[in-house]
Amino acid sequence: MSEKEKVVLAYSGGLDTTTIIPWLKEHYDYDVICCCVNVGQGEELDGLEERALYSGASKLYIEDVVDEFCEDFIMPCVQAGAVYENKYLLGTSMARPLIAKKLVEVARKEGAVAICHGATGKGNDQVRFELGIKALAPDLKIIAPWRCNETWNMQSREDEIAYCEAHGIKLPFSTDSSYSRDRNLWHISHEGLELENPACAPNYDHLLVLSVSPEKAPDEAEELSLTFEKGVPVALNGTKMKVSEIITELNTLGGKHGIGIVDIVENRVVGMKSRGVYETPGGTILMEAHKQLEELITDRDTFAFKKVVATRFSDVVYEGKWFTPLREALQAFITSTEENMTGEVKMKLYKGNIIKQGTTSPYSMYSESLASFTTGELYDHHDAEGFINLFGLSLKVRAMVKENAENK
């Protein structure tokens, strides 16, 4: 008897991916290998192996990639200043290519012929997963149950629970349709319920997981310092830590003070607008600290061009184009701008606000003697007159030409 072909399922242990296991076996007769990629989703990983095997999978991989996620995916986005549509710090976006990479690695190890994911046909994640898989393993088949209209007939949680029970899988899943959430070390996102109507305010008392609202934050501010080397945080309050440890600590501090809660209506890759609330407490602090260091060190032309790169980089990451020559080239530029990004940033957290408390760097371009009114030897006030004459020459010539033409 020949072995069955294998499929690797991106598995979270939730109702959707649990339902997919018997569905894959029924409609494809595959041997289902589950793969959960740990990017810092915390207690969601508890009891996964038992659940996966009980639901009919033959094996479960739990791939711990938290440090790789922080160092190779989060930090390039921080260094780029990549924020999608001026608000979204790309928490889900930058995790998906790493998950795709690990799914491919497991598929190769197991000799699988296909990879399956539970992303819906309306969202961004299907694009991100599949672009990543196509870039790394173009020969693998991709199965997206939510797009399989002929065989995936479930429209609700009740339908999925009934399907599981009909296949002998009885798990304590609730029929309560709560928020749709995605969590990793960098953030947690919320969609659904009252958020589906942009006219409604978010029910923060019901919604928030990592944070409190600014109104419920402490009345006392809290100060902190971050130390960077070449654009990478290496110490928090003087204590050396890994990037993942720093983000974890900043999440606690930022969440306590209501930092990084964003309510956005964004433009999805597939063409529709969607409304979501993102909590990114630690990430917001880290991005702001890097920005404060950058404004002290980076020259004017590079600073201006980096804003262009930041916008393009955020689009590339949001659209799932991580494994592309463009992302690599943009990141090469970003990396070169980080060579001197070393120093210490002090900040104060208070009721949703991050307040500057001073920034120092051995590579600071700020010169106190130049910036002061006395200016010193490097700057002669009289030089400004010639500079202004040349800098404004085209304006003056244009005005003269216009005046002569009108006089005639």
Residue numbers annotated as active site: 16, 96, 125, 180
Instruction: Give the count of beta carbons closer than 10 Å to the beta carbon of residue 220.
Output: 7
Q: Are 50 and 16 in contact (CB under 8 A)?
A: no
Instruction: Give the count of beta carbons closer than 10 Å to the beta carbon of residue 328.
Output: 10
E-assigned strand segments in 90-176: 114-116, 141-143
Placement of tokens 């539970």 in the chain? 118
The vertex-280 CA angle with 353 and 133, nearest 5°, equals 155
Phi then psi for 204, rounded to 5 degrees?
A: -60, -30
239-240 and 232-236 strand pairing: antiparallel
Contacts of residue 319, Cβ cutoff 8 Å, sequence gap at least 6: 124, 127, 128, 131, 269
Task: Report how far residue 335's alpha carbon sits from residue 302's, in angstroms, rounded to the nearest whole number.
Answer: 12
Task: Report how far residue 120's alpha carbon sits from residue 274's, in angstroms, rounded to the nearest whole number.
Answer: 14
**What are the structure tokens assigned to 79, written together?**
């260094």
Q: Are 360 and 344 in contact (CB under 8 A)?
A: yes
CA distances to 16, 58, 198 from 293, in Å:
43, 50, 36
Among residues 128, 154, 130, which one has the least CA distance to residue 142?
130
**Running DSSP on this structure, what letter comes out for residue 40?**
S
Task: Report how far residue 215's alpha carbon sits from residue 396's, in angstroms, rounded to the nearest whole number.
Answer: 54
